[in-house]
Amino acid sequence: MNSVIFYFSQVITGNTKKIAEKIGEGLRYNNNSCDLILLRKMKKDIEMIKSFNFDDYDLIGIGVPVYYFHPPYSVYLTLKEFPILKNKKGFLFCTSGGNPGSTLFQIKKVLDKKGLKIIDGYDRWRGWDVHQMYRNFGGYLPASKGHPTPEELEEAKKFGIKLIEKANDPNVPEKTDFWTKENASSKMWTYEYMQIWFPKLPGKFYEDRCTQCGRCAEICPMDKIILSPYPKFLDIPCNRCYICELICPEKAIECDWDKQISYLENLMKKKNK
């Protein structure tokens, strides 16, 4: 059996990459094959997808981190460019700090239009959740530290091995009991709302600190950042991952997170009550 996994993973943590590699390891069990394809830049990814030979594969996997209860916007738009995949089988997975929202439900809605038959999926793998909103907690969600654990990675490998049997079964049913409708959080945090509510990039930009290394432009999946010669932020949609701010070695990008941090802390206080 030949399988392929398309996955997107944050450069800061690599959570989804770790899970994808372990699933791939399982899918290679007993001399089967599995290719891993990292999605990095939306425009280039779409070009690649348009020339990709899906006929070479029996099973197609999609893996993503969870961004505010959604799949990353860049991946969501890329999936919309997938070809019709009737008579093909697929599976989905994601990593999150603890709440996957309706991430896989949203992905499945897109792939249903492509005819891909989803035979399995998993949205409970945790990943180390690093974000500026957690500034007062050390920069990450405390409950996510150390994930994915060795046990979770072994579970991902076993998930891959089980997929082989399911994919080789000509009568395998579509998995319909796994998917839940969009929850209240994902309905509230729409892509459009995220563009408005989160800090506008680049916030404060310190030209005197910037060395024009280009790292921010290099890692931006939406190509929102270009060097001219300093980073210039284009007026186009954004994943709102803020990795550009996190990864800048000179701290030349500085967003104001006070409003978001206050909101999160009030939310956690209400939850603890």
CATH number, position 252: 3.30.70
Per-residue model confidence as pLDDT tens digits over 126-147:
999 999 999 999 999 999 999 9
Higher pLDDT, 12 or 187: 12
* The pLDDT of residue 273: 63
Asked if residue 168 and residue 156 are part of one domain, the reply reads: yes
Pairwise CA distance, residues 153 & 111, whole Å? 26
Query: Sorting pLDDT into bands at 50, 70 and 90, what band is 121?
Result: very high
What average pLDDT does the chain have? 94
pLDDT for 176:
81
Asked if residue 212 and residue 151 are part of one domain, the reply reads no
pLDDT of amino acid 17: 98
- Do 177 and 193 lie in one domain? The reply is no
Average pLDDT over residues 55-71: 96
Residues 87 and 159 in one domain: yes
> Same domain for 261 and 142?
no
Residue 169 above 80 pLDDT?
Answer: yes
Query: What pLDDT score does 269 carry?
Result: 79
- Scanning the chain, the segments in alpha helix (DSSP H) are 15-27, 42-51, 73-79, 103-112, 150-168, 184-188, 191-197, 215-219, 243-247, 258-272
Question: Domain check: are 28 and 54 in the same one?
Answer: yes
pLDDT at 218 over 70: yes
pLDDT at 183: 72
Question: Is the model's pLDDT at 162 over the cut of 70?
Answer: yes
Domain extent for 264: 186-272
Structure tokens of 244? Answer: 């550009």
Band of the pLDDT at 37, cuts 50, 70, 90? Answer: very high
Could you identify the residue written with the tokens 């069990």? 29
Does position 225 have pLDDT exceeding 70, yes or no?
A: yes
- What total number of domains does the chain contain? 2
For the chain, give percent helix, strand, coil, nearest 5. 40, 20, 40
Mark which of 185, 211, 246 sits at the end of a domain. Answer: 185
pLDDT at residue 96 tops 80: yes
147 and 202, same domain (yes or no): no
For residues 162 and 196, membership in a common domain is answered with no
On whether both 86 and 137 belong to a single domain, the answer is yes
Q: Are residues 138 and 28 in the same domain?
A: yes
Q: Look at 56-70, 126-140, 184-198, 204-218 and tell me which has the smallest mean pLDDT.
A: 184-198
pTM across the whole model: 0.95
Give mean pLDDT, residues 258-273: 84
How many residues comprise the chain?
A: 273
- Are 265 and 136 contacting, i.e. CB atoms less than 8 angstroms apart? yes
Does one domain contain both 144 and 192? no
| Residue 195 sits in the same domain as residue 228 | yes
Where among 140, 165, 185 does a domain terminate? Answer: 185
pLDDT of residue 268: 77
pLDDT at residue 116 in the model: 97
Which pLDDT does position 180 carry in this prediction?
66
